[in-house]
Amino acid sequence: MRWRAVHWGWEAVQRAGVVTADTPAGRGFAAFGRGSMAAFPAGSVFGERWIAIGADTLIAAFVTLSAGMVPGQDLGPAPVLRIGDRCVIGRGSHVVAHCSLLIEDDVFIGPYVYITDQNHGYADPDEPIGRQMPRNAAVRIGSGSWLGAGAVVLPGACIGRNVVVAAGSVVRGTVPDRCVVAGVPARIVREYLPGDGWSAPVRLGPAAPGSAGPAVEAFEGVAQSPDAPG
């Protein structure tokens, strides 16, 4: 009986703690669209004045949504974290914005995904990295994309539309529309070609031993960033 009472009580708390557009917590955001819900318990949520969430978006429990370094930081007149309509953010994910982080409509994000537009600087090899000024670079995740469990999206990433990011991948740089990327760092493993459908990247010529091929290497050249940790 005690076991049942504990579970019934916890379920009641979870229902009561859901954030919607009509709750005081929901009204604290820059925007919180109709039909959207954020489950309870949440992760670390602060900077709501600079977070805009579209309609019919579902945010699972233990998701961290933050704008700025600390609660109360003034980030200016416009939202820095924008989440579109009909998105899903999986349990335990972190979406951490400081300058500009855009998640477009219909993006599905698996559990324990980490997305940020800021990284530690490490230009001075003698100064502790935690004391050096961070670097910001805008992030965009295109509509209709899917990010698998445990993926990491680093500052400066620009992911196209209808892109699949494989579980555990680390994305940086530009990813074109309609492709599948995987690995650390992520690189194209499949792409959609009109008339041909989904296939492995087209090789432009013979690849050197141990090379992924010109098409993949071209993407990797774009994806590499001297400011991002390897």
Q: Which of 24, 86, 96 is nearest to 53 (CA)?
A: 86
Tokens of 193: 């070609």
| Confidence grade of residue 3 (pLDDT, cut at 50, 70, 90) | confident
- With 0-12 CB in 10 A as exposed, 13-18 as middle and 19+ as buried, what is 109? buried
**Beta carbons of 170 and 154 less than 8 angstroms apart:** yes
| 73-77, 163-167, 197-201, 219-223, range with greatest mean pLDDT | 163-167
- With 0-12 CB in 10 A as exposed, 13-18 as middle and 19+ as buried, what is 21? middle
C-beta atoms surrounding 86 within 10 Å: 18
Size (the chain), residues: 230
Q: What is the pLDDT of residues 98-143, one digit of tens each?
A: 999 999 999 999 999 999 999 988 999 999 998 999 999 999 999 9
Q: What is the pTM of this model?
A: 0.85
Is omega for the bond preceding 209 within 30 degrees of 0, making it cis? no
What is the set of active-site residues?
120
Q: Is the pLDDT of residue 63 over 90?
A: yes
Residues 6+ apart with CB under 8 A from 126: none
CA 48 to chain CA mean position, Å: 17
Q: Is 19 helix (H, G, I), strand (E, B) or coil?
A: strand
* Residue scoring higher pLDDT (80 or 212): 80
CA angle 79/85/91 to nearest 5° reads 85
Q: Which of 109, 112, 119, 107 is nearest to 160 (CA)?
A: 107
d(CA 221, CA 79): 32
**Beta carbons of 76 and 54 less than 8 angstroms apart:** no
Segments making up each domain of the chain, as ranges: 2-223
| Confidence grade of residue 209 (pLDDT, cut at 50, 70, 90) | low
d(CA 127, CA 125): 6
118-130 exposure pattern, b = at least 16 Cβ within 10 A, e = fewer: bbeeeeeeeeeee
Write down the mean pLDDT value for the chain: 89
Second-level CATH architecture of 2-223: 3 Solenoid (2.160)
Tokens of 173: 């740089």
The pLDDT, as a whole number, for residue 51 is 98
Q: Is the pLDDT of residue 225 over 50?
A: no
The pLDDT, as a whole number, for residue 1 is 76
Q: How far apart are the first and last CA of the chain?
A: 53
Q: What is the pLDDT of residues 21-55, one digit of tens each?
A: 999 999 999 999 999 999 999 999 999 999 999 99
**Pairing, β 174-175 against β 37-38:** unpaired
The pLDDT, as a whole number, for residue 224 is 44
Q: Is 12 helix (H, G, I), strand (E, B) or coil?
A: helix
